[in-house]
């Protein structure tokens, strides 16, 4: 197999013609062949052997579904937009394309050819180098951690103009896209947290207001402000922790539905939402202190009030 970009050209470049033999057609063909068997014996000495000798390709699941292709079917590929000069290939297998977020919206109608087949199919007669050119060479290292230093060494030791060596993981552009998307989602999360905090503060003010008399009585029977504040703090901590835990569980339950929707929408196996322990920890670290802070701030005004005013009906 060759370079992925080279062997997975757009459908518009490689016109795929379905020559699948349907069952009814098989019967017709069998009868026709039986009638002309003697002629066929000489003119097509070993048709099945020829089919076996056809070069093989793999096609993507999406292409197989769209064009109702199956393993063993014969297809014709052409590098010309009008489908001229096609070549026959036999489908040896159907594969699930590697999920690529950069090609999320693209319809993955792809075929993978053996490199010599692709080069001969796409060769430019006016360019002798076209049968010797590839866009990329994939290298698997024994230790993938050496990718960066290996790429550096290749660039230094093979001084061919326009030759670029870079680690396959985390291309510069891909990384930038996801860094930007990450920042965008983080910004949205921050706005949501700000809105929640304000609402929480408003709610806590109301709840504390309901407890004016209780706090007044506690102060009258001798409890100190710090003791009541500690109680408010503990309550806030419990409520915030319970809220954060519920939020994480809710998100974990919802992630399946979100993933299922987007996977269906984009026909991909990409995972869109994943609640990792790190994300859960970030949520707890944000939510719990904010909840506690809202409890303490809202109670603070109450504790500063005169005890008789609090207990007064």
Partner 1 sequence: MNPFVFAVRGLRRQPGRTILGIAGIAATGALLFDMLMLSRGLVVSMEQLLSGVGFDIRVSATHATPLTGPPITNMAETVAALAAIPEIENVVPLRLGGAVVDIGKRSYDVTFMGADVTNRRPWTLVEGRDLTIDRRSTMDPPSRDGASARQAHGLAAILVNRNMAQRLNLRAGSSLTLRGACTTNSSVPPVTFHVNGIVEFPFDQARQLTAITSLKDVARTCGDTAQNEADMLMVASRQGDSPTAAVEAIRRARPDLSAVTNEELVARFQQVEFSYFRQISVVLATITLFFGLLLITVLLSVSTNQRLGEIAALRALGFSQKRMVSDVLWRSALLVGAGGLVALPLGLALSIWLDRLLQTMPGIPANLRFFVLEPRALIIYVALLAVTMAVAAVYPMWTVARLPISATLRSEVIG
Residue ranges in contact with partner 1 by CB under 8 A: 10, 12-13, 81-82, 104-107, 126, 129, 133, 135, 161-162, 173, 176-177, 180-181, 183-184, 187-188, 191-192, 194-196, 198-199, 201-203, 205-207, 209-210, 258, 262, 265-266
Dist. CA 113–CA 198, nearest whole Å: 59
Report long-range pairs for 203-209 (Cβ below 8 Å, ≥24 apart): 204/294, 204/295, 204/297, 204/298, 204/299, 205/298, 207/298, 208/298, 208/299, 208/301, 208/302, 209/302
CB of 145 to partner 1, least distance (A): 27
Q: How far is the CB of 202 from partner 1 (least distance, A)?
A: 4
Q: Nearer to partner 1 by C-beta: 161 or 222?
A: 161
Residue placing its CB nearer to partner 1 in the complex, 36 or 250? 250
What are the φ/ψ torsions at residue 87 (nearest 5 degrees)?
Answer: -130, 145
User: Is the Cβ of residue 94 or residue 154 nearer to partner 1 in the bound state?
Assistant: 154
| Least gap, CB of 244 to partner 1 (angstroms) | 15
Give min distance, CB of 243 to partner 1, in A: 13
User: Considering the complex, what minimum distance in angstroms separates the CB of residue 92 from partner 1?
Assistant: 27
Q: Which is nearer to partner 1, 43 or 162 (CB)?
A: 162
Q: Are 109 and 75 in contact (CB under 8 A)?
A: no
Question: Residue 214 Cβ, how far from partner 1 at the closest point, in Å?
Answer: 12
Nearer to partner 1 (CB atom), residue 201 or residue 296:
201
Tokens encoding 16: 């795929």
Residue number, 94 or 251, with CB nearest to partner 1: 251
Residue 45 or 128: the one with the smaller Cβ distance to partner 1 is: 128
Q: Choose between 152 and 265: whose C-beta lies nearer to partner 1.
A: 265
Q: In what order do the strands lie in the sheet with 111-113?
A: 17-18, 74-77, 87-95, 56-60, 111-113
Polymer length in residues for the chain: 313
Which distant-in-sequence residues (6+ apart) come within 8 Å of 212 by Cβ? 302, 310
- Closest distance between partner 1 and the C-beta of residue 172, in Å? 8
Which CB atom, from 76 or from 201, has the smaller least distance to partner 1?
201
Q: Say if CB 19 and CB 74 are below 8 A apart.
A: yes
Least Å from the CB of residue 211 to partner 1: 11
User: Least separation, in Å, of the C-beta of 23 and partner 1?
Assistant: 32
C-alpha to C-alpha distances, 144 to 136, 159, 164, 171, nearest whole angstrom: 18, 23, 18, 15
């Amino acid at each position: 197999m060759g370079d992925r970009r080279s062997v997975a050209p757009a459908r518009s470049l490689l016109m795929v013609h379905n020559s699948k033999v349907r069952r009814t057609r098989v019967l017709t063909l069998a009868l026709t062949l039986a009638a002309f068997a003697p002629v066929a014996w000489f003119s097509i000495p070993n048709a099945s052997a020829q089919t076996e000798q056809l070069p093989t390709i793999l096609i993507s699941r999406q292409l197989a579904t769209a064009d109702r292709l199956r393993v063993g079917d014969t297809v014709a590929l052409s590098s010309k937009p009008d489908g001229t000069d096609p070549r026959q290939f036999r489908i040896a297998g159907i594969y699930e394309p590697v999920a690529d977020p950069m090609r999320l919206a693209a319809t993955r109608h792809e075929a993978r050819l053996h490199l010599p087949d692709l080069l001969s199919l796409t060769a430019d007669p006016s360019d002798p180098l076209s049968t010797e050119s590839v866009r990329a060479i994939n290298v698997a290292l024994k230790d993938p951690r050496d990718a960066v230093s290996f790429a550096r060494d290749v660039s230094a030791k093979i001084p061919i103009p326009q030759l670029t060596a870079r680690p396959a993981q985390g291309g510069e552009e891909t990384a930038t896209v996801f860094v930007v998307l990450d920042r965008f989602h983080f910004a949205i999360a921050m706005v949501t947290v700000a809105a929640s905090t304000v609402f929480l503060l408003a709610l806590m003010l109301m709840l504390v207001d309901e407890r004016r008399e209780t706090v007044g009585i506690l102060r009258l029977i001798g409890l100190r402000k710090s003791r009541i504040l500690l109680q408010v703090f503990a309550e806030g901590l419990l409520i915030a922790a319970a809220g954060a835990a519920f939020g994480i569980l809710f998100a974990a339950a919802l992630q399946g539905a979100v993933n299922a929707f987007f996977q269906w929408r984009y026909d991909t196996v990409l995972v869109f939402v994943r609640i990792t322990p790190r994300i859960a920890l970030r949520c707890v670290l944000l939510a719990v202190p904010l909840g506690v802070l809202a409890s303490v701030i809202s109670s603070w005004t109450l504790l500063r009030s005169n005890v008789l005013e609090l207990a007064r009906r």
